[in-house]
């Protein structure tokens, strides 16, 4: 037996699929993978619909050929759309940034919808104009097809509509970037205010520590004034509010005593 290590052959065409499984993309980007699968399943769903209604058993040769070519157009559009999801979103890593991932998903969805609309509308209209120009309702009644009439304008409307969908997606992303930028600036301003307040409190605390005797005297005077005012209100008017004020003032004076004792022990 040879001592050389056995090396398996390169997987060839299946290599991207194996890399897809090894990288756990299915679990990291499940929505994008589902969108690519849906793009591939659209022609399958239309084929099942044609079979259920017995289109391929019809004696109308034009209807059968129209359905076959419509399926071909949808297969091409679905496969092209799946490739858009594959190269734009699935195999492209945007990192852990959630906004970049959401932005890339919206961009890919708009590009897929615009491309699929352009290819499918243009192709189906051309097929129906060739094979079923007079009885196209037999097809449009089965599949949701947003074309009121068959003419060259309807065929051109498909690519124009797809292009407008992509442009609208770009405009939406531009406005979304602007909105996110404004939110970030507001958040930076809020953090600056909070930082400023924290520094202000820190400076005030240092000032109080440097002049503790003065501040303690002032706070004692204020606490004594509150106690006297609360006693006067209790004897003059009564009620629960003066009692609460008196209790709060006495509690504050107790805190001052504790803080003073604690400072003396540190010294």
Residue 204 domain-assigned (yes or no): no
Same domain? For 215 and 172 the reply is no
* Average pLDDT, rounded, for the chain: 77
**pLDDT, tens digit, 9 for 90 and up, residues 119-157:** 988 998 888 888 876 776 767 667 776 666 777 888 888
Residue 211 per-residue DSSP state:
T
Extract the tokens encoding 258.
Answer: 């504790």
Q: How far is CA 126 from CA 27, 44, 120, 191, 244, in A?
A: 40, 21, 10, 59, 85
- Give the per-residue pLDDT at 56: 78
The structure's pTM equals 0.63
| Rounded CA separation 113/103 (Å) | 15
Q: Which domain holds residue 235?
A: 211-266
Q: What is the percent of the chain with per-residue pLDDT over 90, rounded to a whole number?
A: 19
| Rounded CA separation 247/243 (Å) | 6
| Rounded CA separation 115/117 (Å) | 5
State how many domains the chain has: 2
Q: Does pLDDT of 114 surpass 90?
A: yes
Same domain? For 108 and 174 the reply is yes
Same domain? For 239 and 107 the reply is no
- Give the per-residue pLDDT at 17: 63
Extract the tokens encoding 100.
Answer: 């970049």
Cβ count near 234 (within 10 Å): 16
Q: Does pLDDT of 238 surpass 70?
A: no
- Is residue 73 within 8 A of residue 158, CB to CB? The reply is no
Domain boundary among 183, 201, 230: 183
- Give the per-residue pLDDT at 170: 93
Q: Does pLDDT of 55 surpass 90?
A: no
DSSP string computed for 13-42? GGHHHHHHHHTTHHHHSHHHHHHHHHHHHH
Q: Does residue 38 or residue 227 have the better pLDDT?
A: 38
Residue 147 phi, psi (nearest 5):
-130, 115
- Give the per-residue pLDDT at 6: 46
Q: Does pLDDT of 5 surpass 60?
A: no
What burial class does residue 184 get, using C-beta atoms within 10 Å of its C-beta: 0-12 exposed, 13-18 middle, 19+ buried? exposed
Residue 93 domain-assigned (yes or no): yes
């Amino acid at each position: 037996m040879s001592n050389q290590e056995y090396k398996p052959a390169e997987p060839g065409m299946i290599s991207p699929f194996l890399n897809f499984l090894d990288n756990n993309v299915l679990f990291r980007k499940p929505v994008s993978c589902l969108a690519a699968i849906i793009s591939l399943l659209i022609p399958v769903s239309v084929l099942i619909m044609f079979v259920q209604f017995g289109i391929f058993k019809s004696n109308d040769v034009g209807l059968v050929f129209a359905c076959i070519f419509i399926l071909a157009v949808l297969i091409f559009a679905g496969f092209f759309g799946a490739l858009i999801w594959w190269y734009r979103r699935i195999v492209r890593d945007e990192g852990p940034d959630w906004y970049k991932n959401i932005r890339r998903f919206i961009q890919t969805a708009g590009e897929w919808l615009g491309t699929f609309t352009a290819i499918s509308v243009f192709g189906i209209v051309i097929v129906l104009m060739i094979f079923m120009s007079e009885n196209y309702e037999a097809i449009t009644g089965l599949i949701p097809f947003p074309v009121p009439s068959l003419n060259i304008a309807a065929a051109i409307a498909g690519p124009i509509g797809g292009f407008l969908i992509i442009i609208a997606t770009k405009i939406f992303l531009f406005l979304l970037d602007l909105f996110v930028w404004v939110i970030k600036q507001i958040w930076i301003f809020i953090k600056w205010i909070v930082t400023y307040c924290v520094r202000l409190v820190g400076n005030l605390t240092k000032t109080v520590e440097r002049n503790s005797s003065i501040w303690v005297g002032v706070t004692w005077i204020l606490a004594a004034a509150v106690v006297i005012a609360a006693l006067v209100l209790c004897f003059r008017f009564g009620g629960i509010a003066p009692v609460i004020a008196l209790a709060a003032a006495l509690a504050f004076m107790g805190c001052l005593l504790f803080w003073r004792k604690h400072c003396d022990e540190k010294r």
